[in-house]
Amino acid sequence: METDKNRHIDPSALSKARFDRLSTDEKVDLFVEGYRVPQKRSKAEALELLRTKLDQKSTGKPIRNLRIYWSAAASIVLIALLTTVYFFQSTPSQIVAAKGQHLEYTLPDGSNVIINADSKISLSESSFAKQRTLNLEGEAFFSVQKGKPFVVKTHTGTVEVLGTKLNVFSRDNELSVSCLTGKVKVTSNGQSVIIEPGEKADLVSGALQKSTNIQTDHMAGWRSGEFHFDNVPLISIFEEIERQFNVEIATKGLENRFFTGSFSNKNLNEVLETVCLPMHLDYEIKNGNKIKIVPKAQ
């Protein structure tokens, strides 16, 4: 490349007669090939700066700015706490985690539930004491106290447990229940399966399917902000991102595409890149919360 540059003829070394004989294209090339991109800092300075930034990073000084997300997260947590306190004092009927929010809640029997973004549970406190039954729309993780049967009703099926830890996902036509400890009975469309730790029951085209050998830390990674997907429809991935970041994502032509991978819900741009890069997609963010997914520009 250097030698090419050196071979270049300086336009000012030309005679006027020769310059005039050149075609427009040749004149353009003559100039363009001689152009240099101006530099503010040299490459060595740039490397030095980069090393400093990497050092800061490894010693843990924050240099990433998550501005909006963190302040949004902080206010959401505050609202969530207030909501929780409010519901605790009254008779809870509905506990709702909004988009971009996770909510932890202790049920009257001491069981614990963590509700994922854009999800809600509803129960009647007075009857819950007698019969541990609640309704779930969306996704939640339950740590159930031992005792009477504990029933989670969703519109796609019913989950019945004895003392256990389990994750229930129920959105649109999907139902996915994974078991971390104990035993869980899942009933949907008149069929039942019993799952044990490391197993998962999914509703696949109306039929319950059991899969085994699932890594338990992947089952409800969302509680710690880690999302793991194993061959999940790409559209469902973008729906999860919509819920976690409270954004709207427009997609087109992604049917029949699947994604395997992980991301954390800390930074929207990173998440979008993690998903888009390997899938050969580009994204555009408009007005901060509207995202368009497009095929990589040709």
Partner 1 sequence: MRILSNKNQAETGLDQVGFEQLFDAYYDELQHFIFFKTGDTEIAEDIIQDAFLKLWEMRSSVRVETARALLYTIAANLFANRYKRMKLKLKLQQTIVEDRTFETPEFEMELKEFDQKLQRVLSGLNENNRTVFLMNRMEQMTYSEIASALNISVKAVEKRMKKALEHVRKEIEQKF
Q: Considering the complex, state which of residue 34 and residue 225 has its C-beta at the smaller distance from partner 1.
A: 34
Least CB distance to partner 1 at residue 28 (A):
6
Least CB distance to partner 1 at residue 98 (A):
26
Q: Which of 198, 138, 131 shows the shortest CA–CA distance to 168?
A: 138
Q: Side-chain half-sphere of 181: how many Cα atoms within 13 Å?
A: 8
Dist. CA 9–CA 165, nearest whole Å: 75
Measured CA to CA in angstroms, residue 264 lies from 71, 134, 224 at distances of 18, 29, 8
Q: Residue 141 corresponds to which amino acid? A: F
Among 148, 207, 262, 290, binds partner 1 (CB under 8 A): 262
Least CB distance to partner 1 at residue 284 (A):
7
Q: Does 224 bind partner 1 (CB under 8 A)?
A: no
Residue 279: strand, helix, or coil:
helix
Least CB distance to partner 1 at residue 260 (A):
6
What six digits make up the tokens of 207? 């039929």
Q: Does 273 bind partner 1 (CB under 8 A)?
A: yes
User: Quick one: which segment of 3-11, 118-126, 127-135, 140-148 binds partner 1 (CB under 8 A)?
Assistant: 3-11
Q: Residue 20 corresponds to which amino acid? A: D
User: Quick one: which segment of 90-98, 127-135, 199-207, 269-277 binds partner 1 (CB under 8 A)?
Assistant: 269-277
Q: Considering the complex, state which of residue 38 and residue 253 has its C-beta at the smaller distance from partner 1.
A: 38
Q: Does 197 bind partner 1 (CB under 8 A)?
A: no
Strand 150-154 with 132-144, pairing: parallel
- # residues near partner 1 by CB under 8 A: 52
Contacts of 34 (CB under 8 A, 6+ apart): 8, 10, 11
Strand ranges in 164-225 using DSSP code E only, listed in sequence order: 164-171, 174-181, 184-188, 191-195, 199-204, 207-211
Least CB distance to partner 1 at residue 249 (A):
15
Strand order in the sheet with 248-250: 248-250, 290-295, 281-286
Q: Does 269 bind partner 1 (CB under 8 A)?
A: yes
CB 198 within 8 A of CB 218: no
Q: Does 212 bind partner 1 (CB under 8 A)?
A: no
Q: Does 70 bind partner 1 (CB under 8 A)?
A: no
Q: Does 292 bind partner 1 (CB under 8 A)?
A: no
Using CA atoms of 287, 292, 296, 298 in order, give the dihedral in degrees to the nearest 10. -80
Q: Considering the complex, state which of residue 37 and residue 85 has its C-beta at the smaller distance from partner 1.
A: 37
Q: Considering the complex, state which of residue 185 and residue 218 has its C-beta at the smaller distance from partner 1.
A: 218
Q: Considering the complex, state which of residue 63 and residue 74 has its C-beta at the smaller distance from partner 1.
A: 63
Q: Does 25 bind partner 1 (CB under 8 A)?
A: yes
Query: Under the rule (CB under 8 A), what is the footprint of partner 1?
Result: 1, 4-5, 8, 10-13, 15-16, 19, 24-25, 27-29, 31-41, 43, 46-47, 49-50, 53-54, 57, 218, 228-230, 260-262, 269, 273, 277, 280, 282, 284-285, 296-298
